[in-house]
Chains A and B, each alone.
Chain A
Amino acid sequence: MTSPVSPVASPTVQQPGQHKVTAHDVLTLEDHSDGMSYLETTRARMVTLWLPLGLIVFVLLFPFYWMALTAIKPDNQLLDFNTYNPLWTWDPTFKHIYKLLFESNYPRWLWNTMYVAFAATTLSLLASVFAAYAIVRLRFKGSQTVGALIFLAYLVPPSILFIPLSTVIVAYGLFDSPLALILTYPTILIPFCTWLLMGYFKTIPFELEECALIDGATRWQILWKIILPLAVPGLISASIFALTLCWNEFIYALTFISSVPNKTVPVAVVNEFVDGDIFRWGSLMAGALVGSLPLVVLYSFFVEYYVSAMTGAVKE
């Protein structure tokens, strides 16, 4: 079974009766999905496929339409569903978005979010590359145990850690500083990235490394000059997924950051936009929209890497 050539070499588990599938296949499979669909009539397909699919996709996407629409509606149409059709507007206004970007702390929050996300991702990726390489290829004593422990760390959720962690953060003198988030987010990211990269490193032939070892390369050189260039798709998957996780993180940012200018977008939108104003919905939705857009844009460029990160982390 030949699958389409894919830029993403995704790690997969193969079992008898199954064939290898990459992230590319998950998105664009052309040849071997449901090979007998020709047995169905067009009308049957309408009922069994298009109708339920359309309904589910509508429910999944409607909140974003509503979010975007509210963000560009003028105030007088915001709450008046009877005079104006609530599902469309002919007088879009960028007032809410303008206010957000030029008359509030929003750019600062956006910057904080990005800064924390990039720093935490970089830190996690570095630590994970070393850890994954050591577990997969150095085969030191206890490497299996360490691998299992890292998987267990994956299963420890932030919501049972944030209270003790807040006292730890205060004790280390990191409270209310971006560094608190940069150092705590990796506890979520390292297990995930290590696990994903272990899968990628395993797919790189051992022979390449043996050749280099015979030629006198050190482990350090092997890692930087042979393994990493071959694992670039894995690194991209891990880093964009980690970035998304950071952006999405809420409970640590809510607990460890107290001053308004240091907040991240999700926390600021929840805490700072909620005043008594009845027309607050416009600015709230604008805040939610602008906070989501960078991730959606990133996603649209790297769809396959996302899918490969999700499926790769689950399949191991």
Chain B
Amino acid sequence: MSASAPAARGSAPPPTMSTWERLKSNPNWLGFWFMLPAMAILILFLAYPLGKGIWMSLTDIKIGRAGKFVGLENYEELILYDKTFINATIFTLVYTFVASAVKFALGLYLALLLNNNMPFKSFIRSIVLIPFIVPTVLSAIAFWWIFDTQFSIISWALKNLGLISQNINFLGDPLLAQATVIFCNIWRGIPFIAITLLAGLQTVSPSLYEAATLDGASRWQIFKNITYPLLTPIIAVVMTFSVLFTFTDFQLIWAMTRGGPVNATHLMATYSYQKGILGGQLGEGAAIATAMVPFLLAAIMVSWFGLQQRKWQQGAKE
């Protein structure tokens, strides 16, 4: 924005115009005024904190105490001596990868199912989105209850079916707890992916399917050679968002396990909250948050360019 101001001053206005007139009619100045509210909020509460976070990660600031510059000490501390940080990082990567892959597969499958012609179609499509509408924390609490150690309805159902003899300790056992929170993330993410991909599916012209069927293509061939290639642009965008939000997830974990048992389900975001806000070590907390940035950039690059590239290849083939 600031670039437009000197540019506007540089262009000589007609001499008859007053300064006020010029401010009102010059597109660059008008643009500046129109952008002002949005830019002010984004600079004050987004860009500035983003920069400040990186600076804080290089200091030993604590709650109630100004910090002094310590260089990379926070990062050293985390990487060399903090096992929980390493485990949280590994779990965040596993969480993101597994949840995104399953969400994509099931979301695409659900989108293909919903794309069929069937009775109550719009009703079914509407209710599928409900998990996305309900606040994550509130559904996470319902899951907390569903996966309760003593009174889990799932344990009860499996016991009644004769499949298990003891309650499953869903959120008490580290590995099971990790699987459980991944399941809940998948549950919450599928509707968004399914509905956006469904919108993408409906842009595919049915005449292509008719032509392929006449040529004797199988269902799988139709999907592989028509549906999927035409969907790739939208898949790229949807998955970029999905990976981004899964990687930085906080609320689901905080509502269900708060990082426990024995720190097994800490994501980088929850660990950074625990260290920075609850533990008061703002500097270290900021370092954990900043450590997420390279992973995020890498994830965005992979899902964005990886999928975009296929689009180019197909473009080149045509």
Q: Which residues of A come within 8 Å of B, CB atoms?
A: 1, 12-15, 17-21, 23, 25-29, 32-37, 39, 49, 52-53, 56-57, 59-61, 63-64, 66-67, 70, 79, 81, 86-87, 123, 126-128, 130-131, 133-135, 138-143, 145-146, 150, 153, 155-168, 183-184, 186-187, 190-191, 194, 218-219, 244, 247-248, 250-251, 254-255, 265-267, 269-270, 281, 284-285, 287-288, 291-292, 295-296, 299-300, 303, 306-307, 310-311, 314-315
Contacts and interface: CB of A to CB of B under 8 A. Distances in A.
Contacts of A255: 273, 277
A134 B277 contact: no
Given A251-B250, A269-B137, A292-B134, A285 B145 contact: yes
A278 B248 CA distance: 32
B135 A248 contact: yes
B276 to A, nearest CB: 5
B282 interface: yes
B220 interface: no
A24 B107 CA distance: 20
B52 to A, nearest CB: 4
- Residue from A25, A133, A165 having most chain B Cβ neighbours under 10 A: A165
A288 B141 contact: yes
8 contacts: A33-B116, A63-B142, A66-B142, A79-B150, A145-B3, A153-B47, A186-B45, A266-B251
B41 interface: yes
Most buried by A among B8, B190, B203, B300: B203
B45 A183 contact: yes
B117 to A, nearest CB: 5
Given A28-B122, A160-B293, A310 B195 contact: yes
A101 to B, nearest CB: 16
B234 A315 contact: yes
Contact of B208 (A1, A15, A17, A281): A17
Given A60-B130, A288-B138, A131 B35 contact: yes
B246 to A, nearest CB: 10
Closest 7 pairs between A and B when the two form their complex, measured CB to CB: A140-B31, A134-B34, A159-B269, A164-B53, A157-B248, A131-B38, A127-B37
Given A270-B141, A306-B129, A250 B250 contact: yes
B46 A153 contact: yes
Contacts of A139: 27, 31
A291 B117 contact: no
A250 B137 CA distance: 8
A39 B113 CA distance: 16
Contacts of B208: 17
Contacts of A281: 145, 148, 151
Contact of A167 (B28, B56, B241, B292): B56
Given A17-B208, A164-B49, A190 B41 contact: yes
A248 B317 CA distance: 44
A130 B35 contact: yes
Given A26-B195, A142-B3, A164-B53, A34 B117 contact: yes
Contact of B130 (A61, A164, A265): A61
B97 interface: no
Contacts of B91: none
B35, B130, B195, B300: most-surrounded residue (chain A CB, <10 A): B35
Interface size class of B (residues with CB under 8 A): 35 or more
A269 B289 contact: no
Q: Is the interface of B mostly helix, strand, loop or mixed?
A: helix
Interface in B34-60: 34-39, 41-42, 44-50, 52-53, 56
Given A127-B38, A130-B37, 5 more contacts: A53-B113, A60-B131, A63-B146, A142-B3, A288-B141
Contacts of A57: 124, 127-128
A18 B204 contact: yes
Contacts of B87: none
B52 A18 contact: no
Interface in B230-264: 230, 233-234, 237-238, 241, 244-245, 247-251, 254-255
A219 B27 CA distance: 10
A206 B91 CA distance: 51
Contacts of B143: 63
A60 B199 contact: no
Given A167-B56, A314-B238, A299 B46 contact: no
Nearest to A273: B141
Contacts of B30: 134, 138, 140, 219
Contacts of A248: 135-137
Contacts of B46: 153, 156, 161, 187
Contacts of B110: 53, 56
A94 to B, nearest CB: 19
B279 to A, nearest CB: 11
B203 A19 contact: yes
A267 to B, nearest CB: 8
A315 B199 contact: yes
B161 interface: no
Contacts of A300: 126
Interface in B113-166: 113-118, 121-122, 124-131, 133-139, 141-143, 145-146, 148, 150-151, 153, 156
